[in-house]
Amino acid sequence: MLYSAFRLLATIALEVFFRRIEVEGLDRVPAQGAVLLLPNHTNSLVDPLVLVTAIDRRLTVTAKHVLRQNPLLRALFWALGVVVVHRRQDVDKGADPRQNVEALARLGAILDAGGAVCLFPEGVSHSGPALRPFHSGAARLAVAFAQRHGPSKALSVVPVGLHYTDKDTFRSSVWLRCGEPVDASRWLADHPGADARALTQDIYDRVRAITLNYDSRRESAVLGMAAELVVTAGAMPAPLGRDEPEVAAWFRLLARLQEGYRQLSHEAPDAVQALVQRIGRYRAALRRAGILPAEVFLSMHPGRVALFVLREFELLVVGAPLAGWGTLHHAAPYLATRAAARALSTDEDHWATNTVYPGVVIFLVWYLAVLTLAWWLMPPAWAALYSALLPYTGYYALLYRERAGSALRRTRTFLRFLTKPSLQRDLASEGRAIIDSIGRLAARLDSPHEVTP
C-alpha cells in the first residue's frame, strides 16, 4: 500500500520533472521470480526512482547509510523497505561496513523469496564520463544465491543502462535500457571455477555494453555537438510540439558517432581533429548568436511562417487563461522547490534529487493547504471544480511555458534571419558542410579499404 502510493507519487513527480521517459527491454525483467537489477549510477536518488516507477513489480533498492541521517529519508526508507549499505568511505560519517553482512543477508532473503532487488554496483553516484569499476557485492549475492539453490531456482541478473540527456536540467529526458539477463546458476555452470570477481567483471562488461562511456568529458562534449548538428539533417525543423525525437534515437546516434570517432581518430587523426575544431568554432558562433543548431535551417517561406503564426497564436491566446491560472496557483511551490534545490545542491549529481524529493514534499503540503482552504471557503461544487482544475492547470502551465518559450525563441531567430539573411545563409551553409563532412567520414568507415591515407 505504502509502496504503491509512493510509486504513484514518484511517477507523477518524474512525469513533471522529465520531458520524456523512455524504457526499453522491460520484457527482459521477469514478472516473477528472483531478479537482481544492476544499473549504472549517475543521478543519485533519481536513479532508483526511475527504476521503481518503470519496473512493474515491487523493487527493493539499496541506499547508503549516511542518507538515513535525513529524518524524511529515514522514514521513507523504513516505509519502502530500503536496505541500507555501509560504505567504507563513509566510516568517518558513522558507517559500519561490518553491518553489510546483515544487509547482504536481507537482500539474499528477499531474492530467496522470489523478490526483485536493485543494487548500484558502482557504489557511488557520479558525473564521470564512463562507468566506474564495480564492487563485488552484487556478484557475491548472485553466487551465494546460485550456490544455495543450484539450477532449481533461477536468479535473473539484469544489466541496466540509465541515460540522461541533461541530468541537471528540469524537463530533460531519460532512457532506461534493460540488457539481456543472465541466469546466475547457469552462468556459474558455464564458467567452472569462476568466482564473484569474474561475475563482477562479466556484469560490468554487460552494463558497459548498454551504456555510453566516454574517454573524457571532451569526447562527450565533441560528440554531443556533432550529434546536435547531425540530428538536424540540414533540413527545416519540425513544427513546435512535434519536434521531440526519441531519446533512445539520440543516444544511439551518439553511440554511432562515438564508434566512428574512435576508429577514425586512429585511422585519420588529422581529418578528425580538423573536423572537431570546425564543429567547435561553429557551435561557438551559434552560441554567440543565441541560435540553436536546428533553427539555422528555419524556413523563411511565407506560407510556413503563416502556419507557424496561426498555430502558435491560437495556442497562445486560447491557452492563456488556463496557463495563467496554473501559474498563479503553482508559482509559490515552484519557486520554493527551486530555492530548495539551489540551497541543497553542491554538484550536478544531486540537483535532480534535490529538486524531485523536496518538490514532492513542497507540492504535497501546498496542495493540502490550498485544497483545505478551497473546501472550507467554497461551496462543494466550486471546490470540486477547483480541485480538478488545480493539477490540470499546473501541468498545462508547465507545457505552455515551454511552448511559449520555444515559440518566442523561434520568432526571435526568424526576425534575426529576416533582417540579416546573410547570417542564416552563412550558418546554414557551414552547418550543411559540417554534416556532409561527417557523412564523408562515416562513408570511409563503411568502406575500410579506402581509408588508406
Partner 1 sequence: MLARIHPADRAVWLILAIAVLVCLARVPGGAAEVWSSLLVHAALLAGFTAYVAFAATSQSRWIAQAARPAVTVGVVFTLYTTLGHLGLAAMPPADAALSWVDAHLLGLHPVALERLQTPLLVEAFAVPYALFIPYIYLSAALGTLGRPPVERDAFLTGWMLTYATSYLGYVFLPAQGPIAFHAADYVSALHGGAFHDLVVRGVASTGGFFGAFPSLHVGSSLYLCVFDLRTNRLRGLTYFPIVVSIYGATLVLRYHYVIDLVAGTVIALLCVRTGPALVRRWMRARMAHGLTPLPGEDAHAVLGLPSAGDDRT
- Nearest to partner 1 of 105, 388 (CB atom): 388
- Please give the backbone phi and psi of residue 250, each rounded to the nearest 5 degrees, phi first: -60, -50
Residues found near partner 1 in the complex (CB under 8 A): 233, 235-239, 241-242, 297-301, 303-304, 307, 310-311, 314-315, 318-319, 322, 389, 392, 395-396, 399-400, 403, 424-425, 428
- Please calculate the CA angle 17-20-21 and round it to the nearest 5 degrees: 90
Report the amino acid identity of residue 107.
L
- Nearest to partner 1 of 306, 364 (CB atom): 306
Least Cβ distance, residue 63 to partner 1 (angstroms): 35
* CA 387 – CA 393 distance, rounded (Å): 10
Least Cβ distance, residue 277 to partner 1 (angstroms): 25
Least Cβ distance, residue 307 to partner 1 (angstroms): 5
Choose among 402, 21, 43, 42: nearest CA to 247: 21
Least Cβ distance, residue 321 to partner 1 (angstroms): 9
For 364, the enclosing helix (H) or strand (E) is: helix 348-377
* CA 449 – CA 453 distance, rounded (Å): 10
* CA 356 – CA 144 distance, rounded (Å): 36
Q: Which set of grid coordinates corresponds to residue 59?
A: 523493487
Question: Contact at 8 Å (CB) between 131 and 209?
Answer: no
Least Cβ distance, residue 241 to partner 1 (angstroms): 5
- Nearest to partner 1 of 152, 419 (CB atom): 419
* CA 398 – CA 4 distance, rounded (Å): 26
Report the amino acid identity of residue 270.
D
- Nearest to partner 1 of 213, 406 (CB atom): 406
Least Cβ distance, residue 232 to partner 1 (angstroms): 11
Least Cβ distance, residue 49 to partner 1 (angstroms): 23
Least Cβ distance, residue 381 to partner 1 (angstroms): 11
Contacts of residue 360, defined as CB under 8 A and 6 or more positions apart, other chains included, come to 9, 10, 13
Q: Per residue, what are the HEC states of 98-121?
A: HHHHHHHHHHHHHHHCCCEEECCC
318, with CB counted inside 10 A (0-12, 13-18, 19+), is: exposed
Count of alpha carbons within 13 angstroms of residue 427, beta-carbon side = 27
Report the amino acid identity of residue 230.
V
- Nearest to partner 1 of 194, 322 (CB atom): 322
- Nearest to partner 1 of 374, 423 (CB atom): 423
- Nearest to partner 1 of 173, 424 (CB atom): 424
- Nearest to partner 1 of 192, 303 (CB atom): 303
Report the amino acid identity of residue 353.
T
* CA 361 – CA 75 distance, rounded (Å): 13
Least Cβ distance, residue 433 to partner 1 (angstroms): 13
* CA 382 – CA 351 distance, rounded (Å): 38
- Nearest to partner 1 of 233, 332 (CB atom): 233
